[in-house]
A and B are shown apart, each in its own frame.
Chain A
Amino acid sequence: MTTLTTDLKRLGEVKAPVGFADRLLAHVGMADSYAHFETVLGTVYVAWNRQGVSAASRSASAADFEAWFRQDVGRQLIAAAPPLDLAAKIKDELNGRHRLRFDLRGLTPFEQAVLRKTLQIPRGEVRPYGWIAREIGRPAAVRAVGTALANNPIPYFIPCHRVVRTDGQIGNYGGGGPEAKRSILTMEGVRLKRLEELARAGVRYQGVKTTKVFCYPTCHTGRHALEKNIVWLHDEASARAAGFRPCKVCRPAAVA
């Protein structure tokens, strides 16, 4: 009698398998998984969950990444084998082909709007902070845009490095400081020297005489214009006065 009930009691002391709670929390989307990937940017730690990629960082070690993630995102994080296609998707995304989904749940609606807009900036181009602010319908919130980008949990993939100061200077970068920002933009094909020279000369836009369209200097639609047809413009008012209309692709000003 006592032996049977004692045995049954021991049956009740059987432990759940190792990692059960972690797997469960990951399954309901409360914990994220992570792995590190070798990329054109070096080793990048990437966290993901069922909603998509949730964080990325060029951390020095797994421990650093875990500590940063728990502090910044506030969920649990578990080292895991990545889904089979994730490495290829990461490579494509860094090469300018959008293949990843992103989980921005922990961010405010404003921060989400800023990051979603940033995703639309093509590789090889840059936009001012003020452009993001205007495009998301908050033209006065330029500084807040800067803050939201500085706190971007998924740098490199959400290309906050493609947002520069309104005066054309490169500006700061949460993903590793101004130097990292310069090197990533250079890798993406942005001619920084030229951009900075234009900025110093007070030039904001490039107009093309033949089309009467003005663009941001890095906009790909103006890239093939002949040198003799290019005019450098200092502001929207003088551009419009000279008969130019804003480009519908890079949208340097509200398109009527």
Chain B
Amino acid sequence: MDGTERLFERMVHEHQNRVFALGFALTGNRHDAEEVAQDTFLRAYRALITYPPDRIRELKQKAWLHRIALNVVRNRVRGIRPRLVELNGSEPDHARGPEDGALLKMEMDALAARVAALPARYRAAVVLRHVQELSYEEAADALGQPVGTVKANVHRGLKLLRGDDDDHSYD
């Protein structure tokens, strides 16, 4: 195995959860999230094997992977609205007292679906800032937008998320 492959292997292990979570929040379901994460790393791999060593050394892996993942999501949903939230089964059944893990999983599924239903410009900003916990500067860099625009989009996105749902109060 050569140096690039070793680096890629480390990159996958280090960033797989982060990239999957990004895909999950942007697409709203685990199946699409896995596809996005896989496509992201495949594109990264195809790019890496063509890069000269200098460029690989200077690569900011986290920001780079975020940019690729955003492009992957943008390309696959272009012209298509994110999948509608399925009501069946998205409401946890408290009467049966599901285990904490299953409950958390369902809560996360429901939240991801709500985030994914945001308009694209708010969604990406909210996800980068609050799910991925990038700084405004990092998020602006990944999105190729001014910091002020990102701040405004994060703000509006959060507002929509809070106002969108009457069953949960986030006050």
**Chain A interface (Cβ < 8 Å from any Cβ of B):** 1, 3-5, 7-17, 20-21, 23-25, 27-28, 30, 74-76
- In the complex, which residues of chain B have a beta carbon less than 8 angstroms from the beta carbon of A13? 17, 21
Q: Contact flags (1/0) for B151-171 with A, using CB distance below 8 Å?
A: 000000010011000000011
**Chain B interface (Cβ < 8 Å from any Cβ of A):** 1, 5, 8-9, 12-13, 16-21, 24-25, 30, 34, 37-38, 41-42, 45, 104, 107-108, 111-112, 115, 126, 130-133, 158, 161-162, 170-171
- In the complex, which residues of chain A have a beta carbon less than 8 angstroms from the beta carbon of B115? 8, 11
Q: How far is the CA of A3 from the CA of B18 in the complex (A)?
A: 21
The smallest beta-carbon distance between B16 and chain A, in angstroms, is: 4
A-B interface, 5 closest residue pairs, ranked by CB to CB distance from nearest: A16-B20, A8-B130, A12-B131, A4-B170, A16-B16
Q: A10–B108 contact, CB under 8 A?
A: yes
The smallest beta-carbon distance between A77 and chain B, in angstroms, is: 12
Known contacts A4-B158, A8-B126, A21-B12; is A30 also within 8 Å of B20 by CB? Answer: no
Q: B112–A24 contact, CB under 8 A?
A: no
Known contacts A3-B170, A11-B115, A30-B8; is A17 also within 8 Å of B24 by CB? Answer: no
Q: How far is the CA of A122 from the CA of B25 in the complex (A)?
A: 58
- In the complex, which residues of chain A have a beta carbon less than 8 angstroms from the beta carbon of B45? 28
The smallest beta-carbon distance between A75 and chain B, in angstroms, is: 6
The smallest beta-carbon distance between B25 and chain A, in angstroms, is: 5
Q: Which of A3, A14, A27, A75 has a CB less than 8 Å from the CB of B20?
A: A14
Q: Which of A4, A9, A23 has the most CB of B within 10 A?
A: A4
- In the complex, which residues of chain A have a beta carbon less than 8 angstroms from the beta carbon of B42? 24, 27-28
Q: How far is the CA of A34 from the CA of B133 in the complex (A)?
A: 39
Q: Which of B12, B18, B133 has the most CB of A within 10 A?
A: B12
Name 20 extra pairs, CB < 8 A, besides A4-B158, A12-B133.
Answer: A5-B130, A7-B107, A8-B115, A9-B133, A10-B104, A10-B108, A11-B108, A12-B132, A13-B21, A14-B20, A14-B112, A16-B17, A21-B12, A24-B42, A25-B12, A27-B38, A28-B41, A30-B5, A75-B1, A76-B9
